[in-house]
Amino acid sequence: RPYNLPKNKKNTDVLTKASEDFKFILTETYQSSFKDQLLRFSNILLEPISYPYENLIINKIIEGDLLADIDIVEIHYSQLMRLIPKIKNIKKDIPVFFYSHDVYYQSIQRFIQSKETPLFRKCVLQIKNLNIHKKERFYLNQADRIFTFSKKDCELLCDIGVTTPCQNVVLLPEFDSDITHISSNSINILFVGAFRRKANFQGALWLLKNVWPSLEKKYENVKLYLAGSHPTQEMLSYASERVVLTGFVDDLDYYHKLADIVVVPLFIGAGVKYKVLHSFYFQLPVVSTVVGAEGIQTKAFAAITDDKNTFIKSIEELIENEKLRLDIGHTAKKILEEEYNFTKKTINVLLDAYEQGSKSAF
């Protein structure tokens, strides 16, 4: 992840060694022994919140004495929250900052409630995740700071009894400054996602089955782009001249410049969807489901709905009205600049937190 924090503070050391260590850890986990693999699966089966390689990560940290010269540990990804007490056991007084990309119990609940989740898996998850919010509270209360990407997530954590100081921050990647639209003979609808993830391929199939047939029949000049890696075989079966599945692409900016409308048909998952903010940067109108729009100002969207007919109608209005597309896109970009500007909203919060954390480490 490209963070901008070091650019805004003099005398900040960028520890390239850390990225090398993590690369080594991640590479080795896929070459681990049968015993390690057995431990991996026991983590998944026995713990409601788990990451399959967490013990290997901890072992590497201990073996390499990787915390010796570290002042602050920063942990991302909800399933890694179990590392917080383990890090504290290795180096008792080290500050641990946890970045909550989503609220884990909410994400699991939505997966269980999804109509697409098989009944057997629902039952297994229900049993495995009894009182999961208590586990989440237990781990997060051992962190020194929590950062979320929406106020809603901070409130949800507070509701389940998390007392660790929690702050809402914006961590945006640096976007390409060129947003020049690429003109074409068609109106291009874009959905971006890593389609190995259930939330994304489920949303893509809902789009292809429930929304696209009406648009394809009504408009001859409309194309649908599904941009992202690992499209499923069922998704690929819909490929045609007017349904483009790109597979992995090096540069998603190209497809944002080509797009006229962005759709975000997500029904499971949690947290702020950065694909939405990325679309706002390119001044694109976004039609989204409720989950897809979560944590972002509603007035930035062209429409937010889980109803397929309203979803279709909202896209049709955008197809038929170029001025509406441009107006909504400009509004979205303005909100992005005002509410999700890294420098304006986040830099002082993070600098203060890291300075205080560094002092407490000594």
State pLDDT tens for residues 77-87. Answer: 788 898 899 99
Instruction: Kindly state whether residues 132 and 219 are assigned to the same domain.
Output: no
20 or 197: which carries more pLDDT confidence?
197
Greater confidence (166 vs 168) lies with 166
* Best CA proximity match to 309, nearest among 203, 210, 225: 210
For the question of whether the overall pTM of this predicted structure is more than 0.85, the answer is no
pLDDT at 23 over 60: no
Pair (256, 162) in one structural domain = no
pLDDT level of residue 171 (50, 70, 90 thresholds):
low
Q: What is the mean pLDDT of residues 253-259?
A: 95
Q: Which residues contact 20 (CB under 8 A, 6 or more apart)?
A: none
| Measured distance CA(160)–CA(289) in Å, rounded | 26
Considering the chain, what percentage of its residues have pLDDT values greater than 90? 48
- In 239-293, the DSSP E strands lie at 243-247, 261-264, 286-288
Q: What is the mean pLDDT of residues 235-262?
A: 95
Q: What percent of the chain shows pLDDT beyond 70? A: 80
More confident residue, 31 or 249: 249
Beta-strand ranges (E) seen in the chain are: 73-76, 96-100, 145-148, 166-168, 187-192, 222-227, 243-247, 261-264, 286-288, 303-304
Contact 101, 95 (CB under 8 A): no
What number is the average pLDDT over the span 31-50? Answer: 55
Q: What is the overall mean pLDDT for the chain?
A: 82
Total structural domains within the chain: 2
Q: How far, in Å, CA of 137 to CA of 35, rounded? A: 31
Residue type, 33: S
Beta-sheet strands, E only, within 193-288: 222-227, 243-247, 261-264, 286-288
Residue 259: give the domain boundaries.
Answer: 187-339
First to last CA, the chain: 28
Q: In the prediction, which pLDDT does 30 show? A: 47
Q: Does residue 6 lie in a domain region?
A: no
Asked if residue 174 is part of any domain, the answer here is: no
Find which of 14-28, 29-43, 180-194 is predicted with most confidence, using mean pLDDT. 180-194
State how far the Cα of 299 lies from the Cα of 318, in Å rounded to an integer.
16
Looking up residue 282, the CATH number of its domain turns out to be 3.40.50.2000
3 assigned to some structural domain: no
pLDDT at 66: 83
Tokens at 73, concatenated: 């540990």
Residues 350 and 316 grouped into a single domain: no
Q: Is residue 225 part of a domain?
A: yes
Count of residues in the chain: 362
Amino acid occupying residue 11: N
CB 153 within 8 A of CB 271: yes
Query: Using 50, 70 and 90 to split pLDDT, how confident is the model at 231?
Result: very high
1 within some domain? no
Asked, for residue 5, whether it belongs to a domain, the answer is no
Give the burial string for 207-238 (b: 16+ CB within 10 Å, else e).
Answer: bbeebbebbbeebeebbbbbbbeebbeebeeb
Residue 306: count other Cβ atoms within 10 Å of its Cβ: 15
Instruction: Provide the pLDDT for residue 36.
Output: 56
Q: Are residues 120 and 215 in the same domain?
A: no
**Does the structure show a pLDDT above 70 at 1?**
no
Of residues 109 and 304, more confidently modeled: 304
What is the residue type of 98?
Answer: F
The tokens describing 354, both together, are 């890291």
Residue that has been written with the tokens 């641990």 in this structure: 96
CA nearest to 215, candidates 246, 238, 181 = 238
Whole-number Å distance between alpha carbons of 217 and 115:
27
Q: Are residues 350 and 330 in the same domain?
A: no
318 and 353 assigned to the same domain = no
Same domain, 80 and 105: yes
Q: With cut-offs at 50, 70 and 90, classify the pLDDT of residue 69.
A: confident
- Residue 146 β-bridge partners: 98, 166
State how far the Cα of 313 lies from the Cα of 49, in Å rounded to an integer: 40
The pLDDT value recorded for residue 201 is 94
pLDDT value of residue 268: 86
Q: Which among 122-126, 248-252, 284-288 has the top mean pLDDT?
A: 284-288
**83 and 24 within one domain:** yes
For the chain, state the CA radius of gyration.
Answer: 22
Q: Answer whether residue 138 is part of any domain.
A: yes
| Residue 257 pLDDT | 95
Write the burial class of residue 130 (CB in 10 Å: 0-12 exposed, 13-18 middle, 19+ buried).
exposed
Q: What is the CATH number of the domain that holds 138?
A: 3.40.50
- If pLDDT is split at 50, 70 and 90, which confidence band does 191 have? very high
Separation CA 11–CA 335 (nearest Å) = 33
Least confident of 15-29, 30-44, 135-149: 15-29
Q: Please check whether residues 163 and 17 belong to one and the same domain.
A: yes
Residues 321 and 353 occupy one common structural domain? no
Report yes or no on 180 lying in a domain.
Answer: no
pLDDT of residue 39: 56
Give the pLDDT band of residue 202 (cuts 50, 70, 90): very high
At 5 the three-state DSSP class reads helix
More confident residue, 41 or 306: 306
Report whether 103 contacts 295 (CB < 8 A). no
The CA distance from 142 to 18, in Å, is 23
Task: Find the mean pLDDT for residues 337-359.
Answer: 72
Q: 214: closest CA among 354, 310, 337?
A: 310
Looking at the fold, whether 162 and 246 belong to one and the same domain comes out as no
Helix (H, G, I), strand (E, B) or coil at 64: coil
Indicate if 158 and 237 belong to the same structural domain: no
Least confident of 55-69, 115-129, 225-239, 327-341: 115-129
Rounded Cα distance between 59 and 234, Å, is 40
What's the rounded Cα separation, in Å, for the pair 104 and 313? 33
